[in-house]
Structure 1
């Protein structure tokens, strides 16, 4: 069958414009039917920061603000010197979420992508960690029909956002059902010399020097012992009061910051605490969006094996 019904039932070579137009219309139609969820950009006044807090929200197709059952919500953190639009503009989060929801791999869910000037810590330039917990979460939970319990909440991020997501889950395991850290900038003992951590205002002291003491206080090893005690059953109990937070890790094998090595270190540290709740995937590539886009479907699928256990809108 020919592309267009021209005489002779032969492939048309005399009307290249029509062929190109038909192809473009087909791609346009495919693109518009593929994008089902809605993406919005908002700000709200943050008392902690003293300035507007920006965020991007993905609402799944058919989102119902009056649904009787709240939607699961996942907070996705951007990387160093990034912003709240990165996950949609560069990471294909909306398309990936649409595809996974349509395929039934994850339930309809809300994704919140906040913006931060810090490394998701209370650093030298802003109190990003405090603003996340004290301002962003209450705002989101009062604005959208999302869960406000551990079972319906997850957190993930890439690079510095992976550093932040991991720290949030370790500090407050009672708040998150799963965490994903993509190429996490959770370097031990310190970031490599080429890391942007050495020039990021969140981590520079008044003299402009990298604050090693602050890094040690905010990096994941500082949280491990308190986390272990929280999630490990006491001798007289079969289960702990707070379950471990299942952890997904990914990294590129050619990462210029040696993320594979640090990811393996992180996996070993976490497996000593929760041996059956850690997954590490390695991908060809570096510290790039190509790797993060490739690992996002696996990260979200892993997370939603643990987030949300009730049907939406029932």
Structure 2
């Protein structure tokens, strides 16, 4: 049974209930002196607490999509990451392999031309040899005959760390939201390429080209757009691509838009931070190279590099988000530049969680749509 399976959650809850009832039932028998009764009481209390905490952890993981499976949870996920030979991968001949298709949840109808389509894919970078799973949302217009020659704008959508790409579909509802907004005439139809920034799991690369390691920034700035352009009808000129993400994905979105304005005309960071952290999940990202470390610091970039010709969106909450003051400072610093444009979504309250981001995503997608063209 998988970590995200409802059976696992039910089993955990059932075990906690059994242990609680057993503790109540056996407590009078263990209310004696001696190391055995004392050990029994301690063991029952400890087992009950562990079962309750495990059940709570499983429920939270299902709600927020932190870990995709047991291997991901225990840091043993090695099936994805840097690959050596793409030609050996399932006989695929291109950088994108479609594994499955599904309709957009909540959409009425059964045909792609009325509901749109979500494709589960594997993407392999031609230059970086990074492989990662992703989901691609194709709007209904993509399948309609009157749009058969149209190239659509595209937005890369990133999770936080560790995150799962599926959470962008099932928990944050990006495809459903994009479809409804386009149907209401509040945004143009766009292709969404949804994945997590963790392209070499379990390591958190912070979308950095790690010396001697995964070249995550090159993958997102070059390989990913090239792969999507080769497989889908996506605009290939400057102005056709945007990038959006939450938390770690928000930091990556801002950084990629600032570093590569020739690729991304807009970058939206929901609850982002502005400097790559160094911790046990990242390891040594820069290998002592001060230039790489500075480049991953968005404050340093704004102060020392030429202002990029791109549009940025940041979000925070007055109560509930730790990045509120930093976000106000970032807005002020960007406003002082001559080329970079900045917008914001500031909520009165909202924590660092899916519920907050679901409140921000509709406005963020509308903002993104208004800054992308379909040529």
TM bucket (normalised to shorter chain) is 0.7 to 0.9
Contact 2:160 2:196 in 1 (8 A): no
Indicate the residue corresponding to 1:138 in structure 2.
Answer: 226
Contact 2:157 2:245 in 1 (8 A): yes
Indicate the residue corresponding to 1:78 in structure 2.
Answer: 159
Instruction: Output the CA distance in 1 between the equivalents of 2:125 and 2:268.
Output: 26
Indicate the residue corresponding to 1:245 in structure 2.
Answer: 310
Q: What is the CA deviation profile of residues 114-163 of structure 1, one whole-angstrom value per residue up to 9, with x for unaligned ones?
A: 33322111237522111122321111001000011122111111111111
Equivalent of 1:216 in 294, 308, 311: 294
Kindly state the Cα deviation for residue 97 of structure 1 after the two structures are TM-superposed: 0.4
Instruction: Output the CA distance in 1 between the equivalents of 2:324 and 2:256.
Output: 21
Secondary structure of the structure 2 residue equivalent to 1:119: coil
Instruction: Mark the runs of 5 or more structure 2 residues left unpaired by the alignment.
Output: 1-104, 199-204
Kindly state the Cα deviation for residue 87 of structure 1 after the two structures are TM-superposed: 1.5
**Is 1:173 aligned with 2:261?**
yes
**Is 1:254 aligned with 2:319?**
yes
Instruction: Output the CA distance in 2 between the equivalents of 1:227 and 1:160.
Output: 24
Pairs within 5 Å for 1:144-155: 144-155=232-243
Contact 1:248 1:279 in 2 (8 A): yes
Seen in structure 2, the aligned counterparts of structure 1 residues 128 and 96 have a Cα distance that, compared at 3 Å, is same
Seen in structure 2, the aligned counterparts of structure 1 residues 252 and 48 have a Cα distance that, compared at 3 Å, is farther
Indicate the residue corresponding to 2:373 in structure 1.
Answer: 308
Secondary structure of the structure 2 residue equivalent to 1:294: helix
**Is 1:95 aligned with 2:151?**
no
Contact 1:48 1:127 in 2 (8 A): no
Contact 2:286 2:292 in 1 (8 A): no
Instruction: Output the CA distance in 2 between the equivalents of 1:181 and 1:269.
Output: 16
Secondary structure of the structure 1 residue equivalent to 2:192: strand
Contact 1:173 1:227 in 2 (8 A): no
- Comparing 277-286 with 140-149, greater Cα deviation is found at 277-286
**Is 1:31 aligned with 2:106?**
yes
Q: What is the CA deviation profile of residues 224-280 of structure 1, one whole-angstrom value per residue up to 9, with x for unaligned ones?
A: 24332xx5xxxxxxxxxxxx3121111133345x11112112111111115893222
Instruction: Mark the runs of 5 or more structure 1 residues left unpaired by the alignment.
Output: 1-29, 192-196, 232-243
Secondary structure of the structure 2 residue equivalent to 1:201: coil
Contact 1:198 1:204 in 2 (8 A): no
Instruction: Output the CA distance in 2 between the equivalents of 1:248 and 1:137.
Output: 21
Instruction: Output the CA distance in 2 between the equivalents of 1:55 and 1:171.
Output: 23
Contact 2:317 2:346 in 1 (8 A): yes
Larger relative contact order (CA 8 Å, sep ≥ 6): 1
Instruction: Output the CA distance in 2 between the equivalents of 1:154 and 1:204.
Output: 25
TM (norm. structure 2) is 0.61
Instruction: Output the CA distance in 2 between the equivalents of 1:108 and 1:184.
Output: 26
Indicate the residue corresponding to 2:206 in structure 1.
Answer: 119
Seen in structure 2, the aligned counterparts of structure 1 residues 211 and 162 have a Cα distance that, compared at 3 Å, is farther
Seen in structure 2, the aligned counterparts of structure 1 residues 246 and 204 have a Cα distance that, compared at 3 Å, is closer
Answer with 1 or 2: which has the greater Rg. 2
Instruction: Output the CA distance in 2 between the equivalents of 1:227 and 1:214.
Output: 16
Kindly state the Cα deviation for residue 60 of structure 1 after the two structures are TM-superposed: 0.4
Equivalent of 1:272 in 336, 354, 362: 336
The root-mean-square deviation of aligned C-alpha atoms, in Å, is: 2.9
Kindly state the Cα deviation for residue 98 of structure 1 after the two structures are TM-superposed: 1.2
- Comparing 172-181 with 286-295, greater Cα deviation is found at 172-181
Instruction: Output the CA distance in 1 between the equivalents of 2:214 and 2:267.
Output: 24
